[in-house]
Structure 1
């Protein structure tokens, strides 16, 4: 294919050909949209542009796709792929270039193996273990957006060292992470919805992939990693790209800004459980330098009972040191963590189940709404349980004594009222007082024949009083 010719996808949305970036004479082979924006989707020779010349694209008999310049120098190549039939290059409706073998029907090479700064729908972002190597499909930012497409300092990938998190790296340092996938959204992006786009993380035996697809297949979407490390998702509305979301946004703190056991809340850092932790470096903390984080008020040791404190609405800590425990419920998850002295926190989230952090926790944010509940291991007080039991017993005894006092007081009031009220002569004379001699004569000198019953205070006699 000569410079100036184009290969168009079947749906008419993408074209493969040579082009120049504005304000530059360098030539690149890549895929762009066919709309008036001519948005760049992928570049083959981003690191090796054709300078002051034109290019040509060759497809050799053995399946190698090669870019040469106008003086015959090879600029870029997929390398020999050993086709057993007639190799064929196709630009798919997904916007990516593939080489296949028309005899065997197998793919020889795909441009997704060399992702650029853009992730289109249905394209996997992830990793696969192949023998002793790890094949990673990741995004790479431009060195300078709209000016220099060579790889910049930012890379975004589904990190195999973590528990299903998308992580953006700046060089070798973490710049931003999404939090773990919970089956519906990234834990650290509570505003995320699936109303216009369906998001998925697909685990496999030897790897995992993140991908997305629009609810309306006629709408073109893209996710772009810019040269400042920010990822944008947008869709084409007529002739304009409309921003759908970006990450990190203005509400997102820098990675691990609050240090170990520190948590970011509404523009400030706090210790994650203030009753159990304090700033490790108080002077720096007061000067708003939080990187040293927090430390425990009481150490965890064998002479101290341990308990878990719940912290809600949290972007869960970095899962670089998290472990997926095989449990079937939150209670089993807590039991597993309780039995493992190195387990400092746990969470139970739908898709992943039990996550246990084996060591210090870092990079947390608390939201007014959203996130998950994190259970943090803290030291309890010595003798805490017996004290609670004694307190309960004391409260029970006190309540019983109070009830007796109330009953006696009511009885006293009734008796006083009966003794002091005016007596109506027509009323039954239940409370008249009689002399002993009168009672003795009425009972026949307490004759047993007049006994009609017995009570706690002795026999009850039948009498006749006139």
Structure 2
């Protein structure tokens, strides 16, 4: 019976082994984020980061080859972001990942042969060593299992493939002799190295280049302490971009300020561009990419030429230079570049012409002097016959620091709308003098400029006056329809059923006291209600800061204008009386006469004589007539100015009278 079971058991084990050879997409059978010494993951087993963001395991794209990789786990598109054995795919599966006793990570095939291994660890491995996949996508070997920076013996972040994740570095670690580049996949289904590489080229000022094989096809522009001069739009509220340039290392990195945002920076081998993606609405969306336009092409306009997308043709020569080949230039091929119009004297007789809105020329072969001032830089350039240009090496914070000198032809420049920094191009002094003279000829005449500015200011001022006049005219003559939101106080009729003899007596005493205090006739509310037909909306003739104005007719037939205090006013009885006293003193033949007032509980009203021909503002803020001979009901411009001048003279007299 036992002899019968043994083959069955071996068959079951074989079936399990075959099942383990399934591709990466078949799911995880290991719910852990790490492996220890002598531990392994086999076949379709995976490591999943603690937050479930990334997973590590074997995957098999079309083609029959198997790779160990890291990919997103928590999204529908489980994009691969790192591949361990892109040069050494597994052919004999299932494969296994093992942490060897010496601290190296090994990929083994079905025959237990080593297909790939990580470099020797940089720290002494202890029994507690652990390789753990983090939520940042980094597969990190900790020599003692603590995960501290001091215990890092190896990490996948030091060996990027085609993707840069937040926190990864792109550049060179000179101290550790470690180079971190991005290299595209060969095809969308083949993770082996493709033809495109994005990397830092050390020397001079830091600059990143996109290569197609050995050919440069794009450059980020030198780093000037404030940014990469060829990437002016490298800003976003969701990202923090950083370029570090020190004696130990030079690199580019980025971080995400929004923890919910997922982003990756990809060397796209299909499009031949470096591209940033963000995950939004269930898919990867392009955030930006480079190169973006023809002027981003490396060396588009050759030596001493620059590219400008706002002009046609795109290429132009720097000041003091002319096309090397007019024939090629006319065919819109600027790759031949430009040559000097006048040769240098190679001495102090040469001069410099600044350009400021340019992407800095390629500076990998330039010489940087960190302790020089710009004046010292100028003198050093004049003393060197090979010097073509100079500039500040660092302009962070708007302060020029150090010096960079170009002793080679100026390549890969383009013009931007905004100022980048000053680059001083070395020219023969005669060329500098000619450029200065041309600039002076283009400078507008100062007297004409002042006259033009004055004229324009006058027109703008006149327009502002006209606009204000129209605005105030509309405001003064706006009429509001009655509603529950009216700005007048609710009426309290003296004959209201709720009124009492005691209340009527109190109001009468207040009326007599007010009339004595103000030395002004006091109108009864009932008389005003009768005169205005209970403040009929049809009787409303105006609206002002005080409140609404109604036309009325008293019992003796006199027409009056009644100003009724707005309910928005917080003016008390005492304040109202003081204002009435002041207005009563301002009696003049050119002012509307105040006939009296009314105070009844919350009601405050002023009663004026009625002017049938409207008020002065009707004429001032009405239609403007600029010709005196025009027949119109409105004042002509000259007459209106005269009225305004007279009012200006009269106002101080009114104030003086009021003060007495």
Query: Are the counterparts in 2 of residues 258 and 363 from structure 1 also a CA contact under 8 Å?
Result: yes
- Structure 1 residues 405-447: Cα deviation after superposition (integer angstroms, max 9, x where no partner): xxxxxxxxxxxxxxxxxxxxxxxxxxxxxxxxxxxxxxxxxxx
Distance in 1 between residues matched to 2:335 and 2:318, nearest whole Å: 14
The match for 1:243 among 272, 286, 300 is 286
1:112 Cα deviation from its structure 2 partner: 2.2
1:52 Cα deviation from its structure 2 partner: 5.9
Aligned residues: 380
Alpha carbons of structure 1 residues 59 and 134: separation in structure 2 relative to 1, 3 Å: closer
1:37 Cα deviation from its structure 2 partner: 0.5
Alpha carbons of structure 1 residues 194 and 340: separation in structure 2 relative to 1, 3 Å: farther
- Structure 1 residues 294-324: Cα deviation after superposition (integer angstroms, max 9, x where no partner): 1111111247821111223111111122222
Alpha carbons of structure 1 residues 331 and 303: separation in structure 2 relative to 1, 3 Å: closer
Larger helix share, 1 or 2: 2
Alpha carbons of structure 1 residues 216 and 251: separation in structure 2 relative to 1, 3 Å: farther
- Structure 1 residues 232-262: Cα deviation after superposition (integer angstroms, max 9, x where no partner): 1122225222221101112534211211111
The match for 2:56 among 16, 41, 61 is 16
Query: Are the counterparts in 2 of residues 62 and 84 from structure 1 also a CA contact under 8 Å?
Result: no
The match for 1:97 among 139, 148, 157 is 139
The alignment partner of 1:283 has SS state of helix
Query: Are the counterparts in 2 of residues 325 and 336 from structure 1 also a CA contact under 8 Å?
Result: no
Counterpart residue number, 1:71: 111
Across the aligned residues of Structure 1 and Structure 2, the Cα RMSD in angstroms comes to 2.5
Query: Are the counterparts in 2 of residues 307 and 378 from structure 1 also a CA contact under 8 Å?
Result: yes
Distance in 2 between residues matched to 1:327 and 1:68, nearest whole Å: 54
Distance in 2 between residues matched to 1:209 and 1:195, nearest whole Å: 21
Query: Are the counterparts in 2 of residues 190 and 370 from structure 1 also a CA contact under 8 Å?
Result: no
Report whether the alignment pairs 1:124 with 2:175.
no
Report whether the alignment pairs 1:319 with 2:363.
yes
Report whether the alignment pairs 1:368 with 2:404.
no
Query: Are the counterparts in 1 of residues 205 and 224 from structure 2 also a CA contact under 8 Å?
Result: no
Counterpart residue number, 1:297: 341
Please report the TM-score for the alignment, with normalisation by the length of structure 1.
0.76
Counterpart residue number, 2:68: 29
Query: Are the counterparts in 2 of residues 25 and 52 from structure 1 also a CA contact under 8 Å?
Result: no
Distance in 2 between residues matched to 1:251 and 1:219, nearest whole Å: 31
Report whether the alignment pairs 1:106 with 2:151.
yes
Distance in 2 between residues matched to 1:214 and 1:137, nearest whole Å: 20
Query: Are the counterparts in 2 of residues 62 and 87 from structure 1 also a CA contact under 8 Å?
Result: no
**Superposed counterparts of 1:308-387, under 5 Å:** 308-327=352-371, 329-348=373-392, 349-351=394-396, 353-381=402-430
Counterpart residue number, 1:137: 180
Query: Are the counterparts in 2 of residues 128 and 208 from structure 1 also a CA contact under 8 Å?
Result: yes
Structure 1, gaps ≥5 residues long: 389-466
Larger strand share, 1 or 2: 1
Counterpart residue number, 1:439: none
Query: Are the counterparts in 2 of residues 323 and 357 from structure 1 also a CA contact under 8 Å?
Result: yes
Distance in 2 between residues matched to 1:322 and 1:249, nearest whole Å: 26
Structure 2, gaps ≥5 residues long: 1-40, 438-660
The alignment partner of 2:233 has SS state of coil
1:187 Cα deviation from its structure 2 partner: 0.6
Q: Which has the larger Rg?
A: 2
Counterpart residue number, 1:451: none
